[in-house]
Amino acid sequence: MDDIAMRAPLAVDGLSYAYGRKRALDHVSFSLAPARVTALLGPNGAGKTTLFSLVTGLFDSRTGRIRIAGHDLRRERSRALSDLGIVFQAQTLDLDLTVERNLRYFAALRGLSEREARKRIAALLEQVGLTEQRRHKVRSLSGGQRRRVEVARALLDRPGLLLLDEPSTGLDIATRRWLVDEVHRLAHEDGIAVLWATHLVDEVRAHDDLIVLEKGKVVARGEVERVVHDTRANDLNEAFTRLTSARAEEHL
C-alpha cells in the first residue's frame, strides 16, 4: 500500500472473506479520494454488504488490510471508526424515542458534549428538513423521514468518510432524489469521502468515481465516464450489464 493510499479516507488492500467454502470477497483493493462520491455498483450477492460489514468492523478478516483516515482498522479500531459515518440498509433507529432523543443518544455514544450535540442536532435537522418533527417519535415518521434522520445521525460528529449501504431501498421518488442530491452536496461542499453501495445505475452521476463488484471481485474501477469508455458502452447501464454478464459467463 503506497503513501497516498495510506492517507486516503478509506484504503482497502487485498481483502478477502468467505462464508464457509463460499468466497464473498476475493482480494479486493481500492482507495477513496476526499470530496468525492464513489459508487460501489454490483448486483445483489456481489459482496457489497460483506465489504461494508468488514469496513465497519462488524466482521473481521485476516486476509487483507483496511485503513480509515490512515488508521489500521485491526490495530487502531477506535481511531479508525471515529472518522466513519454510516447509513445501513436496514433501519437502526429506536422507534419509541423521539427524533431528537435518537440523535442525542448517538451523540453521547460518540463523545460529543451536550452543548456541541445540541448545536449539531439543530443544524442537521434543519439541513434534512425535519426541525418541526424533532419531538415526534420515530415510529410516527414516514420511511423517507426516518432515512433523513439516519443521514443526520451519520453526520453528527463530522466524519471524513460516509458509507451508505443501499440507502434508497423502499424510499419514495422524491426522498430518493433528495438523498442523491444531498450526498453529492456533502461530498463536494464539506469534503466528505462517500462510498455508496447500490445496484441502481440511475443513482450514479457521470463524474462520480466507480467500483464495480461482481462475485466478490473488482471488475472495473475509475471515473464513471472512463469505465463506460473502456467497456465501449453507450452508457453506464450498458457498461454495467457487460461487466457483470461477462463475469457470470465465466462461471457457467
Number of neighbouring beta carbons within 10 Å of residue 249: 8
- Assess whether 41 and 166 both reside in one domain: yes
Give 98's DSSP letter. B
Co-location of 165 and 218 in the same domain? yes
Closest CA to 192 of 21, 42, 32, 80: 32
CATH number of the domain encompassing residue 58: 3.40.50.300
* Same domain? 77 vs 111: no
Whether residue 202 sits in one domain with residue 172: yes
Q: Is position 88 within any domain? A: no
Statement to judge: residues 68 and 169 lie in one domain: yes
Question: Of 158, 178, 199, which marks where a domain is finished?
Answer: 158
Q: Judge contact between 208 and 197, C-beta under 8 A.
A: no
pLDDT of residue 5: 56
State the Cα–Cα distance between residues 146 and 52, nearest whole angstrom: 21
The confidence score (pLDDT) of residue 2 equals 53
Please give the chain's pLDDT, 252 residues, in tens: 555 556 799 999 999 999 998 999 999 999 999 999 999 999 988 999 999 999 999 999 989 999 999 999 999 999 999 999 999 888 899 999 999 999 999 999 999 999 999 999 999 999 999 999 999 999 999 999 999 999 999 999 999 999 999 999 888 899 999 999 999 999 999 999 999 999 889 999 999 999 999 999 999 999 999 999 999 999 999 999 999 975 544 443
Query: How many degrees, rounded to 5, is the angle at CA 104 between CA 161 and CA 194?
Result: 15
- Total structural domains within the chain: 2
pLDDT at 222: 97
* Range(s) of the domain holding residue 133: 93-158
Residues 64, 166: one domain? yes
* Together in a domain, 46 and 114: no
Do 166 and 132 fall within a single domain?
Answer: no
Among 125, 158, 191, residue at a domain's last position:
158
Looking at the fold, whether 228 and 174 belong to one and the same domain comes out as: yes
Are 74 and 166 part of one and the same domain? yes
Please say whether the beta carbons of 222 and 39 come within 8 A. no
What confidence score (pLDDT) does residue 249 get? 46
Q: Does one domain contain both 140 and 180?
A: no
pTM reported for the whole predicted model: 0.90
The gap between the terminal CA atoms of the chain, to the nearest Å, is 34
Q: Judge if 148 and 165 occupy the same domain.
A: no
